Structure 1
């Protein structure tokens, strides 16, 4: 038996915040086996409470600050 945790799949545009339905940038894996998805706003709002119940957090909020490369003419 292994206790290793498989890496989380990257979040996509189809993953939606459980609070408001916006694009999710944070996945919280719960000890109960469930998961919660949050947009960056709700992740910040509930961050302290989530840390108390999470066994793993997959944070992709860095995607919000990535600047795309300029298009070639």
Structure 2
């Protein structure tokens, strides 16, 4: 985190990817405050480019691993 933005709230099942509609696990907050939400796949695809443009990336893809370890296949 850059320290200039307020901490963002955790993503939940209602947060959907702006590209495909799957559950969002990555939030990209642009310098002006606009937010983009991405699933793990699109977060990996666009994350580095957005970071290079100054976006703050909040990545919760570790939830996918935690859910698999618990046996929850709906994440």
TM-score normalised per structure 2: 0.78
Q: Which consecutive residues of structure 2, in runs of 5 or more, have no partner in the other structure?
A: none
CA distance in structure 2 between the partners assigned to 1:12 and 1:23 by the alignment:
8
TM-score normalised per structure 1: 0.80
The RMSD of aligned alpha carbons is 1.8
Q: How many residues align?
A: 67
CA distance in structure 1 between the partners assigned to 2:4 and 2:51 by the alignment:
20
Q: Which consecutive residues of structure 1, in runs of 5 or more, have no partner in the other structure?
A: none
Considering fraction of residues, name the structure with more strand. 1
Alpha-carbon spacing, 1:6–1:24, altered in 2? closer, same or farther (3 Å): same
User: Which protein has the larger Cα radius of gyration, Structure 1 or Structure 2?
Assistant: 1
Considering fraction of residues, name the structure with more helix. 2
